[in-house]
Structure 1
Amino acid sequence: MKTDEKTLKRVSAMKFSSVYPLLVNKVERKGRTREELDQVISWLTGFDEHQIQFHATSGTTYEEFFAGARLNPNTSLIKGVVCGVRVEEIEDPLMQKVRYLDKLVDELARGKAMEKILRS
């Protein structure tokens, strides 16, 4: 699935600090914790808790955030649909990483077991 240039520019310029509180709110509304969210983000990106909090409070863009990440080798096991698009079919690497995060957060918010979310 190809993403149009306008969308790619908009997403790459989004500040992680503006998205992170929305992710926290989403999982907390469903009875999960910020710590669980951070565990999921850490699994995906390789960032530790301090690095996640740094990005969550600085002006880091999504592009910069994922450029510094060391993606988990099991990300290829993340399958499914986010916003009507299969994550495994997304062609743009940045957009695919963003959708991987979206998919994992959705699974967390839906109450899926952490072992399954982390593809253990």
Structure 2
Amino acid sequence: MSQHRVYRMKFSSVYPLYVQKAERKGRTKDEVDLIIRWLTGYSQAGLEAQIERQDDLETFFAEAPAFNPDGALIKGVVCGVRVEEVEDTLLRKIRYLDKLIDELAKGKALDKILRS
């Protein structure tokens, strides 16, 4: 598997960008956390521990307790690429999270974002 540069980015450096993006559009940190927990299976304490440990995105997703099988329902375009067509599993998971945060920032209802 080729190593994408994004794999080495620290989750602790990406996380505040997700929160800032959401807050600029009137959404909250709690909503960002809920989305991340829904997708990855982390508890709030587990999520906070990951942020403190400053692991990279590869480790963050590898240690995710239970990646949500409904993640496969996430469709759309992020950075000009359809997330459902990304072949690399890890990169697809990263793009799923990007897409969910985009949907939050665009004002989509949480029940729609969480595919309920």
After TM superposition, the score normalised by the length of structure 1 is 0.92
Structure 2 counterpart of 1:5, which letter? Answer: S
Q: Which amino acid aligns with 1:96?
A: R
* Residue ranges of structure 1 left out of the alignment (5+ in a row): none
**Residue 5 of structure 1 corresponds to which residue in structure 2?**
2
Cα RMSD for the two superposed structures: 1.2
Q: Partner of 1:107 in structure 2?
A: 103
Q: Take 1:15 and 1:76, find their aligned partners in 2: how far apart are those partners? A: 24
Structure 1 residues 43-63: Cα deviation after superposition (integer angstroms, max 9, x where no partner): 000001111111122221100
Q: Percent identity?
A: 59
Tell me the amino acid that sits aligned with residue 78 of structure 2: V
* 2:75 counterpart SS class: coil
Match of residue 43 from structure 2: 48
Which residue does 1:86 correspond to in 2? Answer: 82
Distance 1:67 1:106 in 2: 23
Distance 1:76 1:19 in 2: 22
Q: Which runs of 5+ in 2 are unaligned?
A: none
**Are 1:14 and 2:9 counterparts?**
yes
Question: Which residue of the other structure, out of 15, 24, 27, is the alignment partner of 1:29?
Answer: 24
Which residue pairs with 2:69 in the alignment? 73
Deviation, 1:79, is: 0.3
- Size of the aligned set, in residue pairs, is 115
What are the Cα deviations for residues 20-72 of structure 1, in whole angstroms up to 9, with x where unaligned?
11111110010000000000000000001111111122221100000011210
Question: Which secondary structure does the structure 2 equivalent of 1:64 belong to?
Answer: helix
Deviation, 1:5, is 3.4
Q: How far did residue 98 of structure 1 move?
A: 0.3
Q: Distance in 2 between matches of 1:111 and 1:78?
A: 16
